[in-house]
Chain A
Amino acid sequence: ILNVEQSPQSLHVQEGDSTNFTCSFPSSNFYALHWYRWETAKSPEALFVMTLNGDEKKKGRISATLNTKEGYSYLYIKGSQPEDSATYLCARNWGAGSYQLTFGKGTKLSVIP
């Protein structure tokens, strides 16, 4: 059974601040790491899927990095806006060809105007 840990559980930031949070996972037999953004009363939406050690992906003000050797990924949000308020989930695949994704409990971000 995989354990995917996310920290912090929640955080509040002021509009305009930059922030980051962490996803930790077992590094053995790594295949892919997913990030999802989940706004209240909506459906989770994929942000990134990362597979290679050292991967860095960016979508607007949001970016993510991946370290598969030590088993962690960081998600960065530059210049947070109220619309960034959501729960950010990461998930690790169990391996090649596996449909299993193990999710963390998420980091709930609140951006204060």
Chain B
Amino acid sequence: ETGVTQTPRHLVMGMTNKKSLKCEQHLGHNAMYWYKQSAKKPLELMFVYSLEERVENNSVPSRFSPECPNSSHLFLHLHTLQPEDSALYLCASSQTDRVPTGELFFGEGSRLTVL
């Protein structure tokens, strides 16, 4: 099993659809992150969960809804998205007791296209 697995790798959805992105980590970490990369922009932090509690929420629109049912799984629920939400969504994990010097371990990302 690779360290951080994201599904689906590609997703196309209409503005009225509801879909979810899934992330699973097999590294025994207890912090998980959602990052967004839009074209020609740097990676932007969206949400952080530590020990299954949300600890960061960077002014993300409510049409993005995270869920962390346990320390190994993280979801990003999507509803009524806009075309400008099309981007690469990366999940990452780290060890909480090594914040901020512990490195992040990333998945390969979910490429989202909103029509």
Contacts and interface: CB of A to CB of B under 8 A. Distances in A.
Interface string A3-45: 0100000000000000000000000000110101000011111
B68 to A, nearest CB: 13
Contacts of A45: 106
Interface stretch (B12-20, B35-43, B70-78): B35-43
Contacts of B33: 99
Contacts of A88: none
Nearest to B42: A103
Contacts, number: 66
A4 B45 CA distance: 14
Query: Which of A32, A44, A104 has the most chain B CB atoms inside 10 A of its CB?
Result: A44
Interface in A25-83: 31-32, 34, 36, 41-46, 49, 51
B99 A42 contact: no
A107 B111 CA distance: 21
Interface in B3-31: 4, 31
Given A4-B42, A100-B56, A49 B103 contact: yes
Contacts of A106: 42
Given A44-B90, A103-B42, A104-B42, A98 B100 contact: yes
Contacts of A91: 43
Interface residues of A, number: 29
B109 to A, nearest CB: 7
A89 B41 CA distance: 12
A113 B44 CA distance: 34
B102 A49 contact: yes
Given A43-B4, A43-B109, A44-B90, A101 B42 contact: no
B110 to A, nearest CB: 12
B101 A105 contact: no
B40 A97 contact: no
